[in-house]
A and B are shown apart, each in its own frame.
Chain A
C-alpha cells in the first residue's frame, strides 16, 4: 500500500452516489459527499464494508479520521465546531 496520507493533508470527499447505480452499502455519509476536510489521523487498514455487506471478498482499505468544519457542512451550528469522521481512502481525493 502507498504511504498513508499524513495528518494535515487537505482532502475532498468524492462527490459520488454509487447508491444510484444499483444495490450498495456505503459508509461515507451523504452529508459529507463533495465536502472538503483535513486528514486528522491515519487509523489503519480495514476490510471494505461495501464488499462485506454483500459477502464478497473485501480488500483492506486505509481508513482516516478526517476533520470537517461543522458550520460549513450544515450552515448552522457554532463557529469553530468540528465533525471528525472515519472515511476510507478510496473516498478521498486530493484538494
Chain B
C-alpha cells in the first residue's frame, strides 16, 4: 500500500456514475445507508476486495445489503442474470 500514488485522472465511466447514482437514490429513500454500504465493502473477502475496482466493490456491497435485508431476493436477481 505504501507505494507511489497514481495521480492520473482516470475519468469516471458510465458504470461508475450509475453505481454512484443508484447508491444515492437508495440512501435518499431510506432503503440502504452509506454506513451499510461501507460495512458491505469491509465484508468483501480480501482477495476479492483487491481484485475489484472501486465501484465494483460498491455494487457488490449494494447487492449484498439488498439481499440481506430482503429488499430483493436471490431468485429475482438470478432470473435477470440468467436472461443474459
Which residues of A are in contact with B by a Cβ distance under 8 Å?
23, 25, 49, 52-55
Please determine whether A25 and B42 come into contact, CB atoms closer than 8 angstroms: yes
Chain A residues with CB below 8 A from B69, complex form: 55
Secondary structure dominating the interface of A: loop
CB<8 Å pairs between A and B, sample of 19 = A23-B39, A23-B43, A25-B35, A25-B38, A25-B39, A25-B42, A49-B35, A49-B38, A52-B33, A52-B36, A53-B33, A53-B35, A53-B36, A53-B38, A53-B39, A54-B39, A55-B33, A55-B36, A55-B69
Chain A residues with CB below 8 A from B42, complex form: 25
**In the bound complex, CA of A54 to CA of B42 (Å):** 13
User: How many residues of B sit at the interface, in one of the four size bands?
Assistant: under 10
Secondary structure dominating the interface of B: helix
Task: For the A-B complex with A23-B43, A55-B69 known, give 19 more contacts whose Cβ atoms are closer than 8 Å.
Answer: A23-B39, A25-B35, A25-B38, A25-B39, A25-B42, A49-B35, A49-B38, A52-B33, A52-B35, A52-B36, A53-B33, A53-B35, A53-B36, A53-B38, A53-B39, A54-B36, A54-B39, A55-B33, A55-B36
Chain B residues with CB below 8 A from A49, complex form: 35, 38
Which residues of B are in contact with A by a Cβ distance under 8 Å?
33, 35-36, 38-39, 42-43, 69
Chain B residues with CB below 8 A from A55, complex form: 33, 36, 69
**Closest A-B pairs by Cβ, 7 of them:** A52-B35, A53-B39, A25-B39, A53-B35, A49-B35, A52-B33, A53-B36
**In the bound complex, CA of A49 to CA of B37 (Å):** 11
**In the bound complex, CA of A53 to CA of B64 (Å):** 13
